[in-house]
């Protein structure tokens, strides 16, 4: 015997609405790697479809951080955020939220005014005009990371069993997103710490009479892995200073390992010999192709010598040209036709270049992530670098780095290494 067609149509409409909401929240939660930002989008998406207000609470450090309170506006469509607060974690016995955070599962409160709640919850109910609430846990495996609270005013209907199940499903998806984001952040921080541990400690160039050295490494924003950018600087037995910078292809652990291998090769070959930078580069190329699986490397090696004039003798294997910034703010790329990258052809000769570094000038070595932008000719990146670096000629090197990175890396996708020498 068939049921009432109107009831069947209404049931179908509700099912389609639930399915649509699950789909939309899934898209909102998967659109980025920032878990808390995804939860903020979720809070606005479910209002007013699941309630007149939605609250996201994150349990951390023994307390609760109220990440977002989204409430329906007078036109019944858009939502806005109320104040974001932090408050103590409520006790299990005195709060619905406390029970959810302690693992009790979804909690339905038909009359919040009759509930025994701490001050923070009572204030929330008053600000939103809530009468009833559905509190569901943000649970991953056995861990409750927080809670979603859906609030309804007196004019809204009671929560149905279907809506309680839907709220729990939305909270589960949100918890997975938050957990994945935290795991990603942990992996990213671990990878960055490993990358930095592979980079060298710079010598104090002031003790050599050459000037001041500084370096900076910036990981790529779009990767949770280590990368292949590297730099090095060390004093040679004759008192001169060797500078090196390079980029091993890849954004993963093998790239970082190859980066470390290459840096150590260059350091050993440059220190234990009297080759010019071109000679060091040729010997490095032979070792790379003969003893490693490193496929392609761009690199630049240079020797800085003091005296009446500070000379910079260098060799370039497919790397972006150094930038020389004069004390008066004028800039120039040390542009010479670069030799081929390491790992390409052993038969190609390597060439030394020689430039004089004026007193007070800044020599900047960098990897291509500083100047490259997707879809843009790299020449524009070089022009932009010169324009931004010139006004910073007199700034301390750490300030110089801060400003250059802030101005050049608004949308960077690659890791970046910088090495600078401020001539005495």
Answer whether residue 413 shows pLDDT above 80. Answer: no
* One CATH from 3.30.450.40, 3.65.10.10, 3.30.470.20, 2.130.10.10 for 5-189: 3.30.450.40
Q: Out of 29-33, 55-59, 350-354, which region has the weakest mean confidence (pLDDT)? A: 29-33
Q: What is the pLDDT of residue 411?
A: 64
Q: What is the pLDDT of residue 75?
A: 64
Answer whether residue 166 shows pLDDT above 60. Answer: yes
* Tokens of residue 75, six digits: 């036109």
* Tokens of residue 131, six digits: 């009468």
Average pLDDT, integer, range 41-58: 86
Rounded distance, CA 319 to CA 47, Å? Answer: 53
- Residues 228 and 249: beta-carbon distance below 8 Å: yes
Rounded distance, CA 106 to CA 162, Å? Answer: 13
Q: Rounded mean pLDDT of the chain?
A: 85
Answer whether residue 225 shows pLDDT above 70. Answer: no
Q: What is the pLDDT of residue 1?
A: 46
Closest CA to 146 of 245, 55, 265, 26: 55
- Taking phi first (over 0 means left), then psi (-120 to 50 degrees means alpha), and beta for anything else, what does residue 258 get? alpha
Query: What's the pTM?
Result: 0.63
Rounded distance, CA 320 to CA 257, Å? Answer: 23
Answer whether residue 11 shows pLDDT above 90. Answer: no
Q: What is the pLDDT of residue 224?
A: 47
Rounded distance, CA 236 to CA 304, Å? Answer: 10
Q: What is the pLDDT of residue 424?
A: 82
Q: For the domain made up of 199-423, give the CATH fold.
A: Phosphatase 2c; domain 1 (3.60.40)
Residue 36 buriedness (CB in 10 A; 0-12 / 13-18 / 19+): middle
228-281: pLDDT as tens digits: 788 999 999 988 999 999 998 766 667 777 888 888 899 999 998 889 999 999
Q: What is the pLDDT of residue 124?
A: 86
Rounded distance, CA 185 to CA 76, Å? Answer: 37
169-216: pLDDT as tens digits: 998 888 888 888 888 777 767 766 766 677 788 887 667 778 899 999
- Given pLDDT bands bounded at 50, 70 and 90, which one contains residue 31? low
Average pLDDT, integer, range 300-324: 93
Start-to-end Cα distance in the chain: 96
Q: Where are the domains of the chain?
A: 5-189, 199-423
Closest CA to 36 of 175, 150, 223: 175
Question: Residue 418's beta-bridge partner residues?
Answer: 216, 366
């Amino acid at each position: 015997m068939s049921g009432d067609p109107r009831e069947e149509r209404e049931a179908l409409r509700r099912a389609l609405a639930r399915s649509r909401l699950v789909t939309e929240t899934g898209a909102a939660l998967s659109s980025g790697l920032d878990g808390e930002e995804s939860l903020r989008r979720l809070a606005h998406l479910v209002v007013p479809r699941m309630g007149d207000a939605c609250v996201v609470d994150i349990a951390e450090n023994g307390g609760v951080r109220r990440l977002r309170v989204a409430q329906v506006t007078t036109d019944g469509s858009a939502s806005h955020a109320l104040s974001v607060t932090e408050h103590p974690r409520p006790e299990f016995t005195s709060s619905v939220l406390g029970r959810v955070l302690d693992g009790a599962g979804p909690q339905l409160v038909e009359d919040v005014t009759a509930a025994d709640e701490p001050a923070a919850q009572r204030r929330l109910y008053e600000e939103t005009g809530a009468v009833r609430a559905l509190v569901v846990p943000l649970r991953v495996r056995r861990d409750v990371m927080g809670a979603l609270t859906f609030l309804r005013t007196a004019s809204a209907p009671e929560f149905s069993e279907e809506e309680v199940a839907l709220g729990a499903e939305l909270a589960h998806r949100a918890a997975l997103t938050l957990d994945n984001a935290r795991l990603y952040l942990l992996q990213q921080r671990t990878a960055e710490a490993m990358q930095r541990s592979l980079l060298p400690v710079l010598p104090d160039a002031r003790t050599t009479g050459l000037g001041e050295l500084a370096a900076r490494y910036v990981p790529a924003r779009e990767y949770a892995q280590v990368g292949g950018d590297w730099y090095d600087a060390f004093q040679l037995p004759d008192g001169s200073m060797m500078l090196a910078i390079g980029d091993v292809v890849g954004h993963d652990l093998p790239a970082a390992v190859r980066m470390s291998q290459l840096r150590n090769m260059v350091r050993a070959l440059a220190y234990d010999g009297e080759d010019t930078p071109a000679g060091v580069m040729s010997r490095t190329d032979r070792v790379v192709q003969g003893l490693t699986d490193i496929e392609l490397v761009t690199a630049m090696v240079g020797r800085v010598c003091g005296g009446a004039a500070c000379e910079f003798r260098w060799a370039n294997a497919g790397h972006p040209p150094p930038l020389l910034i004069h004390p008066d703010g004028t800039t120039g790329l040390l542009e010479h036709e670069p030799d081929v990258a390491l790992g390409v052809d052993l038969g190609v000769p390597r060439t030394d270049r020689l430039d004089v570094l004026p007193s007070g000038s800044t020599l900047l070595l960098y990897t291509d992530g500083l100047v490259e932008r997707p879809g843009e000719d790299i020449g524009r990146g070089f022009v932009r670098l010169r324009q931004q670096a010139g006004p910073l000629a007199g700034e301390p090197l750490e300030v110089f780095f801060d400003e250059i990175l802030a101005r050049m890396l608004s949308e960077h996708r690659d890791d970046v290494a910088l090495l600078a020498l401020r001539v005495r």
